[in-house]
Amino acid sequence: MIRWQLAMRLLVRNRRSGEQRILVAALVIAVAASTAIGFFTDRLGRGMANQSADFLGADLTLVSPRPVDAAWIREARAAGLQAIETLAFASVVVGGEELLLSGVKAVQDGFPLRGSMRTAPAPFAPGAETRELPRPGEAWVAQQLLTALDLQVGDPVEVGAHRLTITRVITFEPGRVGNPFGTAPRLLMRMADVPATGVVQPGSRLTYQYLFAGREGEVTKFRDWLEPRLGPSHELVGVKEGRRAVGSALERAERFLGLSVLAAIVLAGVAVAMAARRYSERHFDMSAMLRCMGASQQDLLGLYLPQLLVLGLAASAAGCLLGWVAQYGLLYLLADLLPATPSTPQAWPVLAGVATGLVTLAGFALPPVMRLKDVPPLRVLRRELLPLPSRAWLVYGAALSAIVAVMWTYTDSWPLTLSVLSGGILLVAVLSLVALLLLLLSQRLNTRVGVAWRFGLNNLWRRRRGSVNQILAFGLTLMAMAVVALVRTDLLTTWQRQLPADVPNHFAINILPDQVESFQAFMENAGVATAQLYPMVRGRLVEINGIAVRKAVTKEARSDNSLNRELNLTWTTELQEDNRILEGRWWQPDDTGKPWVSVESRLAGRMGIGMGDELRFAIGEQRFTAEVASIRNVKWDSFRPNFYMVFPPQVIERFPATYITSFYLQKAEKPLLRELVARYPAVTVLEMDRVIEQVGRIFRQVTLAVEYVLVFTLLAGFAVLFAALQASQDDRLYEGALVRALGGSRRQLRAGHLAEFTALGGLAGLLSAMGAECLVWVLYSEVLHLDHRFQWPLWIIAPVAGALLIGAAGYWGTRAVVERSPMLLLRNQ
């Protein structure tokens, strides 16, 4: 009977063997990558789920651009719910000489109904829970606002025409939903102070939030009562929707992270399979010997499987630890996107990590190790006897099942799993072919290069199966890294480059009709050119050809933003210079007053709107119909005011409107905004330069996070490389001894190795450049709609980086070949 103890002793004795180390290292990498993501998404997800109500500040929130019927609130209170009103708007806040566009929220007693605010008495002091609210005349502000305006607690700030005193710093604030300026620094004030600011004017962009809280059944009942009464501009946010709203921004990042982790796991699996194969082969003799000594097949399994299990568990534990540390990197990189209070880490990602480790091990290592029980004992007399090779279907089947299992946990959907899988297999097949071609080409070069290169290239060609695998492993990883890096650096610069220098970088909205002339004069005086002032009426598209919009459009379009929020409608006689009419014709002078509308082409395409269609709009409580008279192409990135729907004059003029314009300000001219806001308190200035900056920052963070995880993929690639080196070790030792026996020097041998791995890395880099170029081209032309340039630096950087990285690693990995003397090789058979 073989004992567990013996298995463990063998395991410990084997600890220095290369294949066991590689197996463990590869597993650690796979588990670390998956637990890092696991911890991260779990903390994120639970942070959002647990605190969704706290986060919303209520069990149910009704968001509306206008005050709602007071009867609804009475109904809620009658149903036993608590109900309060808050008001959010964007406004430029002035402090000292500085000004900043901020999200302002006005609250009344009772806020928040769920969760609590956290505040600090001074900047950067630790926050503490509070049940209080700012008193009239006071403002609580976010840290960023203090920093941006260079203010202290106790200083005055101006909101519109009203002056408030800052008394506390907000560290966490529930209820940040339905606010279009959610990322702007915050200011919290009393509802009672709002009239004095003069910000609330007819047509101002306001967001009323009605918070409700109560027992679950009552909330549900009230919700059921309320839902049919809601108008098109109302939005109801419950715990579930809140989570989705907050989470959707990160969902895509999570997808990319998941994909990178998957790549890391698959590569690690390949390394595990290679190491396990060698492990198995190195234990044939031992198995035969043990069989001679009387061990049964079951005894052998009892000897090897516990070792495998312990290796798997140990590696998983180490991986979990590493992953736990690594998640802090992710939390740090994505800090700005995360909820203010991330929850504490929990145990299940550890379980998931261990499961990943064991599944990877089982899928990739089990088939070769199972072979050990079939070693014939007669091998002790006839060394050439081998166990039957594992069945191909078993090897690939096990690996594929492992991959599918892991993939499914990431995607949570079968169609996605299958499409990613088949896409991956296709990609690998195509790239393998390309890698083989590259190898063939380099082999052709063989006669024109020096001895060392010839030796190296010959080696690559001789082991071409392994070489292709490695070129692929590194090529794919480098490709992913290159694409992410390119998109990060290129997207923003390309975009900015495509903007003319004096493109407007500020929008002024909420200009009241009676202020239009004085506003224009004010800007002219200041020497700032403004675009035309366009009237803006907020309304919703409710029917297309008499069919409710939600039913009329395709399923995908149903989630379209333009459906769910209010559209800005305008009228004008002049077609904007950067708009082009695609179908129909632009307004003629005698079209004035005709119920026609011109629709933006992309929106029309998405919603299936064509020429002559009857569109029904809702503005406030009123409805009217217009016929599509033209389809327009709009250059959105021109940063001039642009509209989905343009009417001829005198069609919607009877509705309350505010005006919008855009203008360009240099940094030095920014103080003008202060004066502007003081003169026109209701006007909201959107500082697009800041928005662009912020979008850029978030984008950089997400891509950095993805690259961070790709480092694990790269490490897994190295595990594959070292596993391959291990597999060819005996061969290389023999070859090295032979070369030296034939009079080759150590230097020549090493130069050959260096050439081999430099070439390998260079080819992988080349492959990655090809792949990245194609991918970026598709991405730019199909998804991002950017001009694609030939990425020439990529074609230099990728091969050089590949050659350096892999050259160095391979050179180091083969050092043993010459460090061991040929003499020793002879003695060890």
Binding site for other proteins (CB under 8 A): 1-3, 5-6, 9, 13-14, 16-17, 285-286, 288-299, 376-378, 380-383, 824, 827-829
Residue spans of alpha helices (H) in 617-745: 671-679, 688-727, 729-741
User: From the CB of 282, what's the least distance to other proteins, in Å?
Assistant: 8
User: From the CB of 10, what's the least distance to other proteins, in Å?
Assistant: 8
User: From the CB of 736, what's the least distance to other proteins, in Å?
Assistant: 17
Residues 297/288, Cβ–Cβ less than 8 Å: no
What is the spatial distance between Cα 663 and Cα 511, in angstroms, rounded to a whole number?
Answer: 14
User: From the CB of 823, what's the least distance to other proteins, in Å?
Assistant: 11
User: From the CB of 276, what's the least distance to other proteins, in Å?
Assistant: 16
138 or 374: whose CB is closer to other proteins? 374
User: From the CB of 313, what's the least distance to other proteins, in Å?
Assistant: 21
What is the spatial distance between Cα 102 and Cα 89, in angstroms, rounded to a whole number?
Answer: 8
What is the spatial distance between Cα 175 and Cα 37, in angstroms, rounded to a whole number?
Answer: 27
Residue spans of alpha helices (H) in 153-283: 194-197, 216-226, 239-282
Residues 140/172, Cβ–Cβ less than 8 Å: no
Number of C-beta neighbours around residue 383 at 10 A: 11
2 or 645: whose CB is closer to other proteins? 2
Question: Positive or negative CA dihedral for 157, 161, 163, 167?
Answer: negative
What is the spatial distance between Cα 115 and Cα 57, in angstroms, rounded to a whole number?
Answer: 6
User: From the CB of 471, what's the least distance to other proteins, in Å?
Assistant: 32
What is the spatial distance between Cα 569 and Cα 537, in angstroms, rounded to a whole number?
Answer: 5
User: From the CB of 387, what's the least distance to other proteins, in Å?
Assistant: 12
385 or 775: whose CB is closer to other proteins? 385
Give 534's strand partners. 660
Quote the tokens at residue 235. 């939005």
Those residues whose C-beta lies under 8 Å from the C-beta of residue 824, and which sit 6 or more positions away, are none
User: From the CB of 13, what's the least distance to other proteins, in Å?
Assistant: 6
Quote the tokens at residue 584. 């129909």
What is the spatial distance between Cα 654 and Cα 674, in angstroms, rounded to a whole number?
Answer: 32
User: From the CB of 308, what's the least distance to other proteins, in Å?
Assistant: 16
User: From the CB of 398, what's the least distance to other proteins, in Å?
Assistant: 25
302 or 353: whose CB is closer to other proteins? 302
Print burial letters for 599-628: b (CB count within 10 Å at least 16), e (below 16): bbbebbebbebeeebebbbbbeeeeeebeb
Those residues whose C-beta lies under 8 Å from the C-beta of residue 603, and which sit 6 or more positions away, are 562, 609, 644
1 or 742: whose CB is closer to other proteins? 1
Those residues whose C-beta lies under 8 Å from the C-beta of residue 740, and which sit 6 or more positions away, are 746, 749, 818, 822
Those residues whose C-beta lies under 8 Å from the C-beta of residue 449, and which sit 6 or more positions away, are 457
Query: 174 phi and psi, to 5 degrees?
Result: -75, 165
Cα pseudo-dihedral 313, 318, 322, 325, rounded to 10? 100
User: From the CB of 6, what's the least distance to other proteins, in Å?
Assistant: 5
